[in-house]
């Protein structure tokens, strides 16, 4: 059966543990096939276990049986709130503010570009000074408010990529503003479609694919947004090979600005928890984009995002896909997502470029 890594804070009652959980102990502290109960909470907390592998089907069954997402209230969550970083605090504030603006658009209001910039600019300063923050944005997102998280996140990612590509500060802000508004047209899509948990019908999918047109219409009269950025908003779902929408454009007909939003959009979407899938490692997704999506995006843009990993400082703490905690001791620029890691507990040195079974699950922020 398939297994999914789930944060302790996100565990649902009744989910089934996919394998024995060891914590420097001779015997498992929780055995495979155990159903999660509230009694397991202090155990996970005591051993500082951040994620638990659970059988994917049991997550789905739990949701269907309860009718709601029954989430464990954890001590870990309280600690996170108390020790919240300034960036996360600002991010959460910006999400709530963006949600208000989106609701106004749904009600028919015009876009207040000055307000949108006020929401994203404080976050832009954070990520331009610390690019590694973009690799943890999926940890902050959730499926319920995904559309707001996605808009803010692709704004930040686009800003970082533009900076990495040596854009001027003004164009970086333009790029971030355009990315934040790329999905504003979703406000014109039927709310029932936006909230639908299951597969979309052909009609519903076509309606979703109209959002670049709606977005383009909504930003048309914003004078301080450059025309190139308005084109990028319209084209951000186009692909080099002609497989995108709404026009099926190919090659040079798609602007580089469009590709920046497109890559940011796909990267964040693939890493985030959605109603139909769990979160995915940012580093694993980067490899997937570079390998399986080759030929769809401007390669310079993909390289710019990929090379942001090479900016990670030596000593950066990471969690591997086998739950081991380690620190980065060497980064090979030709394989930036697979650095050499020193395991904290055992001092073992692992070269992830050679050990392909393991990958970085997440950065450990302090």
Secondary structure of 43-89 as H, E, C letters = HHHHCCCCEEEEEHHHHHHHHHHHCCCCECCCHHHHHHHHCCCHHHH
CATH architecture of 3-82: Alpha-Beta Complex (3.90)
**Nearest by Cα to 62 from 103, 24, 17, 129:** 17
String of b and e for 21-53 (b: at least 16 CB within 10 Å)?
Answer: beeeeeeebbeeebebeeebbeebeeeebbbbb
Query: Both tokens of residue 288?
Result: 């997937």
**Class of the 86-307 domain?**
mainly alpha
Secondary structure class of 3 (helix, strand, coil) = strand
Q: Give bridge partners of residue 3 from the DSSP assignment.
A: 55
Name the phi and psi angles at 325, rounded to 5. Answer: -100, 140
Cα angle for residues 323, 327, 331 (degrees, 5° grid): 115
**Residue 143 CB neighbours (<10 A):** 16
Per residue in 36-60, pLDDT (tens digit) is 887 787 777 767 788 888 887 776 5
The span from the CA of 270 to the CA of 267, in Å, is 5
pLDDT at res. 103: 96
Residue 334 CB: number of other CB atoms within 10 A?
Answer: 8
Please name the CATH architecture into which domain 312-363 falls: Roll (2.30)
Q: How many residues does the chain have?
A: 366
* Nearest-angstrom CA–CA distance, 291 and 298: 13
With beta carbons less than 8 A apart as the criterion, state whether 311 and 132 touch.
Answer: yes
Question: Tokens standing for 172?
Answer: 């970086």
Strand order in the sheet with 325-330: 349-351, 340-343, 325-330, 317-320, 360-363
DSSP state of 324: -
Tell me how far apart the alpha carbons of residues 35 and 73 are, in angstroms, rounded to a whole number: 16
Q: What is the mean pLDDT of each run of 10 residues along the chain (366 residues)?
A: 78 85 71 84 73 78 49 37 74 95 96 97 96 93 92 98 97 98 97 85 94 97 97 97 95 96 96 77 91 84 92 91 93 89 93 93 82
The structural domains of the chain, with segments of one domain joined by +, span 3-82, 86-307, 312-363
Rounded Cα distance between 326 and 355, Å, is 15
Q: Are 236 and 227 in contact (CB under 8 A)?
A: no
SS3 316: coil
**Residue 35 forms beta bridges with which residues?**
16
pTM (predicted TM-score): 0.78
């Amino acid at each position: 059966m398939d297994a999914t890594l789930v944060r302790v804070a996100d565990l649902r009652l009744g989910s089934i543990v996919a394998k024995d959980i060891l914590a420097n102990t001779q015997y498992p502290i929780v055995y495979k096939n155990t159903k999660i109960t509230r009694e397991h909470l202090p155990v996970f907390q005591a051993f500082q276990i951040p994620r638990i592998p659970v059988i994917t089907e049991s997550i789905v069954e739990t949701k269907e049986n309860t009718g709601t997402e029954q989430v464990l209230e954890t001590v870990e969550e309280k600690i996170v709130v108390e020790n919240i970083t300034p960036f996360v605090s600002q991010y959460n504030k910006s999400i709530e503010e963006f949600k208000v603006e989106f609701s106004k658009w749904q009600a028919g209001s015009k876009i207040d570009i000055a307000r949108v910039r006020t929401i994203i600019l404080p976050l832009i300063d954070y990520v331009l000074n610390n690019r590694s923050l973009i690799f943890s944005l999926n940890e902050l997102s959730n499926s319920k408010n995904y559309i707001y998280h996605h808009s803010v996140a692709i704004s930040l990612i686009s800003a970082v990529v533009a900076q990495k590509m040596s854009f001027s500060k003004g164009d970086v802000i333009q790029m971030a503003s355009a990315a934040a508004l790329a999905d504003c047209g979703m406000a014109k899509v039927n709310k029932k479609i936006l909230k639908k948990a299951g597969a979309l019908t052909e009609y519903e999918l076509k309606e979703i694919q109209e959002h670049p047109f709606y977005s383009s219409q909504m930003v048309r009269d914003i004078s301080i947004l450059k025309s190139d950025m308005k084109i990028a908003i319209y084209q951000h779902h186009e692909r080099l090979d002609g497989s995108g929408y709404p026009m099926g454009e190919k090659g040079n007909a798609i602007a580089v600005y469009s590709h920046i939003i497109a890559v940011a959009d796909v990267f964040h979407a693939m890493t985030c928890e959605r109603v139909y899938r769990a979160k995915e490692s940012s580093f694993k997704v980067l490899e997937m984009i570079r390998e399986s999506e080759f030929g769809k995006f401007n390669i310079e843009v993909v390289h710019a995002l990929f090379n942001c990993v090479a900016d990670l400082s030596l000593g950066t703490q990471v969690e591997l896909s086998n739950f081991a905690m380690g620190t980065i001791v060497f980064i090979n620029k030709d394989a930036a997502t697979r650095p050499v890691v020193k395991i904290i507990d055992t001092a073992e040195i692992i070269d992830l470029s050679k050990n392909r079974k393991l990958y970085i699950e997440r950065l450990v922020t302090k």
